[in-house]
Amino acid sequence: MNALSPTDGSAIARTARRFEAQALGALLKPVYGEAPKGLLSGRAAEEQWRPMLIEQHAKAWAERGGVGIASAVHAEMLRMQAAAQSGQASAEAPAGGERSALTSISAAPALPTTPQEGARP
């Protein structure tokens, strides 16, 4: 899979990078929650500014290439867009049957039903 270029200015690429930044922010939040207090000031101001710091770190990480989430999301969004466009084209054709763009999305894998080793109950 090709990495999503930080210079790709398309709306889909920007959306994919914003999604990755949101995901990275969610991953960073517990890390900062476990960090020793006093990283900034240790007081109420730290609690107010910490979410903004996390958001900016996540945005910067995503803009520099992230961890590959944006590339995967970008590829999937392009695939879904192409499927929707081909579905519209076949729906407009006189002999074509109606087809939903969602029919091409494969089923999500099932989650494990047994607890993983070391997982908390």
Interval 82-101: pLDDT, tens: 999 888 776 665 554 444 44
pLDDT of residue 104: 42
Note the pLDDT of residue 7: 62
| Within a domain: 73 | yes
Q: How many domains does the chain have?
A: 1
| 2 domain-assigned | no
* Residue 106 resides in a domain: no
Instruction: Please indicate, yes or no, if residue 44 is contained in any of the structural domains.
Output: yes
Tokens of 38: 């006093």
Residue 102 lies in a domain: no
Residue 113 lies in a domain: no
Residue 114 included in any domain: no
* Both structure tokens of 73: 């999301």
Average pLDDT over residues 18-33: 91
Tell me whether residue 115 is in a domain: no
Sign of the dihedral defined by the CA atoms of residues 63, 66, 68, 70, in that order: negative
Q: What is the pTM of this model?
A: 0.59
Which residues form the domain of 22?
11-92
Q: If you count DSSP H runs as helices and E runs as strands, how many of each does the chain have, helices first?
A: 3, 0
